[in-house]
Amino acid sequence: MKHVELYETTRNGIPTFRLLCPDQAMSEFFDSWAYQLAKLKKFRTVKAYCYAVQNFLSFIHQVSILNCGLTPALLNDALDSYESYLVFGASSDSAIAREAAKALGSRNISGASVGVHLVAVNRFIAASEAMRDGLLQMQRSGYVSEALISIMPITITRHINAPKAISASIKANSWLAGCIAGGAKKIKMQNLSPKSKPSSMARTDEFGGDDKAFPIDKCKALIDSAVCLRDKVLWSLVAASGCRISEALTMLMDDIEIDIEHPERNKIYIIDPGTRRDVLIDYMSEAELNKLDHKGRDKPETFLIEPFASMFWYNFGLYNEEQRAKEKIRRRPVLHRFLFRNLRNGSAMPLSYQAVWERFSNAARAVTGTSYGFHSLRHMYAYYLVNHCPNPAGRGKFGLELKVVQTLMGHKSIKSTERYARKDAKMLEVTFAAINMLRMTTSNFNVVAVQIQHLECELEQLKLKLVEHN
């Protein structure tokens, strides 16, 4: 069971969270902290941080219950064991973490998620300690007469004559007091690395997929399997352009340029929703706008890869005809300009990620036997561009330069592109095989001849696989 609960709310048009718990002081402090955070961070970050702090407060409260109260030493040990609680839960070697997990349930989260949890908790700890220090300063100045003391962060309640030992009482009973010389103690990552360096090589299977990229040879079948035109358009758009699903769901009809006389000049622009709030506010509330998940896109231009580009344009035409027919029989006209619409009533769906993800994931599992999300199409797009896309700068060469791929994916930093555009291990093995054969032969052995021989062998193996597959 959890000792504290969260619920989503809106304050001054900004989506935020409130805390429900028996401690009024904690609830008031958390509400203020979450609201200040919501003014600075994107909604998804605020949500992740608030749920992380909720989990942390439940853990601290459970430790207090199991030990009939908190002491500075016990709190110190609880903070030290929090990482172990998150990762190992009831299997932790720490008695504090183990007993708390038995009551609250095991977490068993990854190193990267632990990093996010600790960043959130440490921000909360720092804010709580800042308030404690402020109260002490006001008490010394005579502005605070009495404070409600809690094992959680404290808050002012009413003014009466100050007890003589109020300063000592605050230091002794504040939930963070006494951790390190009366100050806050940040939780440090001890046993796990918050981020692991991703591999720069992709070991693909026979269908052109790996652990992150959707199998490109299965993608056409995936799009064909969609049961409605909207999904066909959405899936082919993401596959052809490599855009994020959040960017696709906020696409407007105005972002698509059609040249009837020269279809090859048709264009799609991917616009960062954060750059056109003045336009989107006509179709969305301020609170909905503030929930939009967007990472920022450096350039709106796209490069559409085949055969998914052709599939998009074909299905887009049918989708438009379908929507016009539906519009004639609707009781209420559609007033928004979003490309993708709710199947039932035609309403906008810029925040409907979960609904479209479930349909995509089920179809992907049916086609591949594995569950994939929309982001696997973005990985597929980058993987194709850096490995298999014909390179106009080099005769007979494949794979675009990383800087070009960065532009096409809209990344502001090339480091972001590197996480997607992994090199095909098979292609690298060709080069290494040629080098190894050269080292074992005479000095006049021709490297190009070795590479041709190796590629011919690879080609024969691929032909055999194709025959077996058919």
Q: What is the DSSP string of 132-154?
A: HHHHHHHHHHT----EE--SS--
pLDDT at 178: 35
Q: What residues contact 142, with CB distance under 8 A and at least 6 apart? A: none
Check residue 9 and give its pLDDT.
Answer: 92
pLDDT score recorded for residue 388: 67
Q: Which residue has the higher pLDDT, 131 or 90?
A: 90
Per residue, what are the HEC states of 157-225? CCCCCCCCCHHHHHHHHCCCCCCECCECCCCCCCCCCCCCCCCCEECCCCCCCCCCCCCHHHHHHHHHC
Least confident of 203-207, 250-254, 400-404: 203-207
pLDDT band at 364 (very low <50, low <70, confident <90, very high): very high
What's the residue count for the chain? 470
CB count within 10 Å of CB 436 equals: 12
Share of the chain above pLDDT 70, in %: 69
Specify the higher pLDDT residue, 428 or 56. 56
Assess whether pLDDT exceeds 90 at residue 274.
no
The rounded mean pLDDT for the chain is 76
Return the half-sphere exposure (C-beta side, CA atoms, 13 A cut-off) of residue 355: 14
Report whether 150 contacts 21 (CB < 8 A). Answer: no
235/230 Cα distance (integer angstroms): 9
pTM of the model: 0.64
List, for residues 74-121, the tens digit of each pLDDT value.
777 888 888 888 888 888 888 998 898 888 887 667 666 788 888 898
Res 396: pLDDT: 55
pLDDT tens for each residue of 17-46: 998 877 677 788 889 899 999 998 888 899
Q: What is the pLDDT of residue 410?
A: 75
Q: Are strands 423-424 and 201-202 parallel, antiparallel or unpaired?
A: parallel
| Mean pLDDT lowest among 155-169, 368-382, 383-397, 448-462 | 155-169
**Is the predicted pLDDT of residue 151 greater than 50, yes or no?**
no
Mean pLDDT of 368-391: 82
Mean pLDDT over 358-364 rounds to 93
Q: How far is CA 105 from the centre of its chain?
A: 24
pLDDT score for 167 = 43
Report pLDDT digits (tens) over 288-324: 888 887 666 777 888 888 889 999 999 999 999 999 9
